[in-house]
Chains A and B, each alone.
Chain A
Amino acid sequence: MTPPAGFDFHRPADLAEALRLLAADPEAVPIAGGTDLMVALNYRRARPRALLDLTGVADLREWTDEGAAVRIGAGVTYARVAAELGGVLPGLAAAARTVGSPQIRNRATLAGNLATASPAGDGHPPLLATGATVTAASAAGERLMPIGDFFTGPKRSALRPGELITAVTVPKAAGPQQFLKVGTRNAMVIAVCSFALALDTGRRVLGTGIGSAGPVPLRAGEAEAVDLPWEAPDRFGEGLAVEFGRLVAAAARPIDDVRATADYRRHALAVCAARALRRAWAEAHPEGSVRCG
């Protein structure tokens, strides 16, 4: 890559400086792992005049245990999410393990995935399924956004000019979580579609997230409302799993593209959602005589 002439490169050491720089130069483009941005630069889809490198910002590099939730700093890589958060955030960690390759996961951040806001971003479905919160900050202060409000269109988000994502706060798992990603090769592939499920066995709540099958990552509201046999877990039957799959597929708004047809995406979502629910229910009720498949 040959950088364009007159290219400014800022490397702030802390968040306050980063926000100050961004306020002074609102056109400066943040760069974290660079795994999306460098591709855009290489293909000249982006020609930023200035880059704001966030990798030196210590405040963004850690995740913290907040009791009921984990606050993931914007600079935390997918490699670390996969390696360190599998116990408390199994759905997100499973998604992290499917992102790109080891080299990509070593650089790519959850916040970068969010800011790109691709409908195919693998981090998004588990964040939707668990009801995560995005923290954005600007020189004017901080604001919190429920994940459901974050995605506004293909590659568009509610992030405002001058704002940085500083953290994503994800409730700890309160039951089994699943993430299934369909791709046409066995690794290093953009999702044809993906599905995340979070079962909260305490509150008896089911969360869902659909990836790569609509203009934005989606929740499947009607599917979340299926009547699960909490009182008699062994009454969970094949019909329920299939019905759940059908409702998830119905919630998707897929298109035909080079990766797959819309019909296939709907079909695959129905299969994945049914499998996810069966697995989660079986995990939640290990003694139950659940029929699987």
Chain B
Amino acid sequence: MTDTAGGVGHSPIRPDARSKTDGTFDYASDLRLPGMLWGHTLRSPHPSAAVRSIDTTAALAMPGVAAVLTAADVPGANAYGLITADQPVLAADRVRYQGEPVALIAADTLDLARLAAEAVAVDYETLEPVTDPEAAVAAGEYFRYQPVRLGDPDAQAAAVVIAREYAVGMQDQAPLGPEAGLAEPAPDGGIRLHVATQWLHSDLEQLAPCLDLPPERIHLEMSGIGGAFGAREDLSVQAHMAMLALHCGRPVKMMYDRAESFLGHVHRHPARMRYEHGADEHGRLVYVKARIVLDGGAYASTTDAVVGNAASLAVGPYEVEHVSVDAWGARTNNPPCGAMRGFGGVQTCFAYESQMDALADALGLHPLELRRRNAVAQGSKLITGQTVDARDPRRDRPGGAPFSPLADLLDRLDALPAPAPAPTARPGGSGDTTRGEGVRRGTGYGVGLKNVCYSEGFDDHSTASVELRLEDGERVARVHTAAAEVGQGHWTLQAQIVRTELDVDRVELAPNDTRIGSAGSSSASRQSYMTGGAVRAAAVAVRALAAGRDLADGPVEATRVFRHRATKPMDPVTGQGDSHVQLALCVHRATVDVDVELGLVKVVELACVQDVGKAMNPLALEGQIHGGTAQGLGLALMEALLTDGGRVQNASFTDYLIPTALDMPPMRIELVENADPDAPYGLRGAGEPPTLSSTPAIVAAVRDATGLPLTRVPIRPEHLTTGRLP
């Protein structure tokens, strides 16, 4: 490996940097073709209802309306899903959540398509929605139940016991670019889709049976993505615009508005969790019991895998020998929930970190010290029985204590200087609600443990093709993958890897499409590892091929499929099994100022130490840490999609608040490179871990400032003032 300019370890400017800042970047919502129609989805206003009839006559009679399609028009199977095909493309006789697609309209303009949707008469018989996930679980309505059993927690005696209930609200990915795409009918009767998605091949696999087309007649091409965070893993516009385009024989564009976007994608599972931690007088964990109920909403989406993560990561990166975890993903008539950054790790992290703080408090220990005493180390076992492999050749001394990557991060976090006492901005911000009146400072810590790549035996792989050619005497490389650039900087990284492996300057990126094999999803913090691994393997192969050859004779090309080591399913009864590939750790310290009289919070600083294995692109990594941390801040302090009887109350950016530049404080970041010998370049997936640990750190800091127990996120101002109401 050479230290090439713009190669691995450097921070070259991303190719989309300029166009995204000057407004010229082509997002999926900018797609257009001559003669195209606009598609629109009619959605159910009811969380639960029988569909008695749909009358499309009036809508079809409107001039400029080209088609109105219903379930009867779905060419193939009327069911799709990422793991289980249980979600109708269009509801046939039953709607199970508010916003479920019922009919499709194609018209000359988007406005007309929307008007026509209003003219479709749907006769609903409304039914009582199931909205309480606990009741659903009690009635046997759940997508997955996953227990974890270790030792005998009921037989243990502990010096301190902390038992509390926690709740996490329904966070939304809130990507700034709404769902959009364009479908073009192909001359062979097939279809060509331009779409902003996280996983082209999964879309294709789900579409083929619905459209009743052989997979080779479906071609997908990535379009400009304005944020994803899990929201683009499930199908949104794909099948609908394809149906309309095939039916009309014309290109069809679809684009959601903000309200439809909130109803048209899955959210983070809200959670209710009951935790009991027992510890000895030194603060060492004796046992943990946890009951975790995640609300999966109406359809399966990825709830199965989210429950697996919630269960296997339920106690965090701490050693404990007696564990009992029960985790469910309930089926209700609430909005469907699925993938979002952190994927099942976020909810439990808030609970177990809150528990660790409560234990520290009860024992009079510093929160960092309590965590150090329980931190996993090289050779520790997770609650699933999986061994922590965190060798550090620099630090594992013969006879010494095994290296603990967590204790290492905590020591480094502790060593970071605290922010200045004088605040630069006050709680309440521009509202001028305080000039110091009622303000108290608090500090808190959070630790997150996240699995990287797909777990539980999934055949996780990625494909890359690299070509090296001579152009005007210069060696030029070209990379082709299907990996989604979702803003994380994956294009930049691919080019860096090729530069390093082939010692070239110019690297071209072929459009991401389904002409090449799957890259898997841009999720689970996995693309640097997986597609990075595939690009490296292809580049290394090209290097070998090019060694004995003169490139003037023609280009050299290699395609490689990369797999990480195999994982095992979790045992359905005990939860035991080596289910994860790689584990990533991140720790946060939050400093907050709270106006305790008004219940308003200003996060003053967030310090973060993350083990990234190898800083492939330090600038992009910092971006990921800032972004992930901000999303965790949002969950801690403001982000929740509110439902009432299954109906979303705040499907707009007016009332679904995400942090602004005045909410997100400056960050102090330290990157640690404890290389993982199994991973390409030793890297660890980095996109998700900061989202886990920032939430509990901020909540702990608010607890420190207010003295309140705070067991729900997001914290609302009234949670902080309730005891003070006049």
B662 touches A186 (CB 8 A): yes
Size bracket, chain A contacts: 35 or more
- Asked if A180 meets B717 with Cβ closer than 8 Å, knowing A249-B726, A259-B655, the reply is no
Report the minimum CB–CB distance from A27 to chain B (whole Å): 18
Known interface pairs A185-B429, A187-B430. Does A4 touch B111 (Cβ–Cβ under 8 Å)?
Answer: yes
Contacts A184-B638, A246-B726 known; list 7 others, CB within 8 Å.
Answer: A42-B257, A97-B430, A180-B433, A182-B428, A264-B721, A264-B725, A293-B437
Task: List B residues at the A interface (Cβ < 8 Å).
Answer: 38, 109-112, 114, 257, 259, 425, 427-438, 597-600, 602, 637-638, 642, 649-650, 654-655, 657, 659-663, 716-718, 721, 724-726
Q: How far is the CA of A75 from the CA of B437 in the complex (A)?
A: 37
* Alpha-carbon gap, A97 to B432, bound state (A): 10
A16 part of interface (Cβ distance < 8 Å): no
Whether B724 pairs with A186 at a CB distance below 8 angstroms is no
Complex partner residue of A267 from B427, B655, B726, CB under 8 angstroms? B726
Q: Does A272 contact B (CB under 8 A)?
A: yes
State how many angstroms separate the Cβ of A281 from the closest Cβ of chain B: 14
List of B residues within 8 angstroms of A293 by Cβ: 436-438
Is A43 a contact of B259 with CB atoms below 8 Å? Answer: yes
A187 touches B111 (CB 8 A): no
Is A21 part of the binding interface, using a Cβ–Cβ cutoff of 8 Å?
A: no
Of A123-131, A135-143, A188-196, the one contacting chain B is A188-196
* A112-156 contact mask (Cβ, 8 Å, vs B): 1 or 0: 000000000000000000000000000000000000000000000
Contacts of A189 in B (CB 8 A): 431, 657
Is A289 interfacial (CB-CB < 8 Å)?
A: no
* A263 interface contact, C-beta 8 A: yes
> Known contacts A43-B257, A98-B431: does B638 contact A185 (CB below 8 Å)?
yes
Q: Are A184 and B657 in contact (CB under 8 A)?
A: yes
A: which residues have CB within 8 A of B? 2-5, 42-44, 94, 97-98, 101, 178-192, 194, 246, 249, 258-261, 263-264, 266-268, 270-272, 275, 279, 292-293
Complex formed: what's the CA distance from A182 to B720 in Å?
A: 14
Closest Cβ of chain A: how far from B473's Cβ, in Å?
A: 49
Instruction: Report B-chain residues with C-beta under 8 Å of the C-beta of A270.
Output: 726
Q: Give Cα A189 to B425, complex, Å.
A: 17
Contact of A181 among B432, B662, B718, B726 (CB under 8 A): B432
**Quick check: A279 and B257 within 8 Å, CB to CB?**
no
Q: How long is the Cα–Cα vector from A194 to B657 in the complex, in angstroms?
A: 18
**CB nearest to A272 among chain B residues:** B433
A258 with B642: CB separation less than 8 A: yes
Write the nearest CB–CB distance from A277 to chain B, whole angstroms.
12
CB-based contact A275/B433 at 8 Å:
yes
Known: A44-B114, A258-B649, A271-B598. A186 touches B430 (CB 8 A): yes
- Nearest-Cβ distance from residue B625 to partner chain A, whole angstroms: 21
Question: Cβ of B654 and Cβ of A187 under 8 Å apart?
Answer: no
The verdict on A186 contacting B110 (CB below 8 Å), with A249-B726, A272-B433, A272-B598 known, is no
**B663 in complex: contacting residue of A186, A192, A275, CB < 8 Å:** A186
Whether B717 and A190, one on each chain, are in contact in the complex, defined by CB atoms closer than 8 angstroms, is no
Contacts of B432 in A (CB 8 A): 94, 98, 178-181
Residues of A within 8 A of B111 (CB): 2-5, 44
Pick the contact of B434: A5, A266, A267, A275 (CB < 8 A). Answer: A275
**Does A260 contact B642, Cβ atoms closer than 8 Å?**
no
B222 to chain A, nearest CB (A): 25
Of B109, B427, B602, B662, which contacts A2 at CB under 8 A?
B109
Chain B residues with CB below 8 A from A179, complex form: 432
Question: Considering the chains assembled together, what is the distance between the CA atoms of A249 and B38 in angstroms?
Answer: 51
Contact present for A271 and B725 (CB under 8 Å): no
Contact A260 B717, beta carbon cutoff 8 Å: yes
- Please tell me if the beta carbons of B433 and A182 are within 8 angstroms of each other in the complex: yes
Complex Cα distance A279/B38, Å?
56
A68 to B38, CA, bound (A): 56
Q: Which 3 A-B pairs have the closest CB atoms?
A: A186-B429, A181-B431, A264-B718
Contact of B717 with A188 in the complex, beta carbons under 8 Å: no
The chain A residue with its CB closest to the CB of B661 is: A187
Instruction: Quote the shortest CB–CB distance from B469 to chain A (angstroms).
Output: 45
Residues of A within 8 A of B655 (CB): 190, 258-259
Query: In angstroms, how far is the closest chain B Cβ from the Cβ of A251?
Result: 14
List the B side residues contacting A94 at CB < 8 Å: 432
Q: Which residue of B lies closest to A178 (CB)?
A: B432
B267 to chain A, nearest CB (A): 16
- Which residues in B have their C-beta under 8 angstroms from that of A279? 435
Please state if A181 and B725 are interface contacts (CB–CB under 8 Å): no
Q: How far is the CA of A106 from the CA of B693 in the complex (A)?
A: 38
Contact call A186/B433, Cβ cutoff below 8 A: no
B residues in contact with A258, CB < 8 Å: 642, 649-650, 655
**Cβ-neighbour of B717 out of A43, A184, A275 (below 8 A):** A184
Residues of A within 8 A of B110 (CB): 2
Say whether A185 contacts B721, CB under 8 Å.
no
Of B435, B661, B716, the residue contacting A184 (CB under 8 A) is: B716
Q: Are A271 and B428 in contact, CB atoms less than 8 angstroms apart?
A: no
Interchain CB contact under 8 A, A185 and B433:
no
Cβ-neighbour of A180 out of B109, B431, B662, B726 (below 8 A): B431
Tell me whether A267 and B721 are in contact (CB under 8 A). Answer: yes
**By CB atoms of chain B within 10 A, which of A94, A179, A180, A249 has the most?**
A180
Q: How far is the CA of A179 from the CA of B425 in the complex (A)?
A: 17
Q: Are A186's CB and B602's CB within 8 A? A: yes
Chain B: which residue is nearest A99 at the CB level?
A: B430
Docked Cα-Cα span, A226 to B600, in Å, equals 28
- Collect the chain A residues with CB atoms within 8 Å of residue B430's CB: 97-98, 181, 186-187
Chain B contacts for A271, CB-based, 8 A: 438, 597-598
Closest-CB distance, A100 to chain B (whole angstroms): 10
